[in-house]
Copies of this chain bind each other. A is one copy, B any other.
Amino acid sequence: MRSDCPLNYGLEIFGDKWTLLIIRDLMFFGKRYYNEFLASDEGISTTVLADRLSLLERQKIIRKRKDKEHKQRIVYSLTEKGIDLLPVLINIGLWSDKYASRLNPHRDIIIGAAKKDYMSGIEEMKRRLYDIHLQ
């Protein structure tokens, strides 16, 4: 499966049904805790979640830390490498929005800004993610 194609590099990391959904949860839905990811609509199982979180951390796409206030909780957040996946997620969202028959509730959260003005929408969202995840 290894190859030097630039597309393949990305697909080796997030080319499965679950990885990008975790990133989506961090990126658009403000989730930060293990049990919040577990509670996603798609019903990710705990083995898959643990596996993908550790993969994403090894790839330096997310970062894990202890919660400052509740020392026993673990907080997940995006790195810059993770935030840079924003245009990928946005464009999957734009494509799905164009071709999915069924409307859906999270549409505006994910592609609202980018649909008005792609470039400035992306920039605005990116700034917000920097504030939240890179403090």
Contact residues of A with B, CB < 8 Å? 1-12, 15-17, 20-21, 24, 40-43, 81, 84-85, 87-89, 91-100, 102-107, 110-111, 118-119
Contacts and interface: CB of A to CB of B under 8 A. Distances in A.
Q: How many copies does the complex hold?
A: 2
Nearest to A61: B99
Nearest to A4: B104
Chain A: interface secondary structure?
Answer: helix
A88 B99 contact: no
A88 B95 contact: yes
A120 to B, nearest CB: 12
Contact of A20 (B7, B97, B118): B7
Contacts of A2: 42
B107 A6 contact: yes
B93 A6 contact: yes
